[in-house]
């Protein structure tokens, strides 16, 4: 089937890299929103890796606090028994 529409007399101007950069660069928070709403499996894998390392470090600090509390009798690194129980569980 042939088209009966007339072709435009002039070709449209191609989009340049500068036009794209002007629209995308400079918006603050764009990277954070992009990473938090992504469906890309590689970015999700990086987020899992980063969060697991962060939680591992937090758990390590808590374990060091408990070990410091138990290092010697009467050592008071953690102020109350309730805080000790919160760290332990």
pTM for the predicted model, two decimal places: 0.56
Q: What residues have CB less than 8 Å from 65, skipping those under 6 apart?
A: 77, 78, 87
DSSP secondary structure of 30-51: HHHHHHHT---HHHHHHHHHHH
When pLDDT is averaged across residues 28-33 and rounded to a whole number, the result is 79
The token pair that represents 68 in the structure block: 């410091």
Q: Is the pLDDT of residue 49 over 90?
A: yes
When pLDDT is averaged across residues 12-33 and rounded to a whole number, the result is 66
Structural domain includes residue 49: yes
Domain count, the chain: 1
Structural domain includes residue 2: no
pLDDT tens digits along 73-88: 877 777 788 887 887 7
The token pair that represents 13 in the structure block: 């101007």
Structural domain includes residue 47: yes
In this prediction, residue 79 carries a pLDDT of 78
Structural domain includes residue 57: yes
Instruction: Give the residue from 88, 41, 47 showing the smallest Cα distance to 69.
Output: 88
Structural domain includes residue 37: yes
Domain extent, residue 75, equals 17-88
Structural domain includes residue 10: no
Structural domain includes residue 6: no
In this prediction, residue 4 carries a pLDDT of 77
């Amino acid at each position: 089937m042939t088209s009966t529409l007339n072709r435009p007399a002039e070709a449209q101007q191609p989009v340049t890299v500068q036009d794209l950069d002007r629209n995308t660069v400079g918006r603050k928070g764009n990277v954070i929103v992009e990473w938090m709403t992504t469906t890309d499996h590689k970015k999700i894998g990086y987020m899992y890796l980063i969060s697991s390392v962060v939680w591992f470090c937090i758990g390590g600090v808590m374990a060091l606090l408990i070990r410091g509390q138990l290092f010697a009798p009467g050592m008071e690194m953690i102020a109350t028994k309730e805080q000790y129980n919160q760290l332990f569980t």
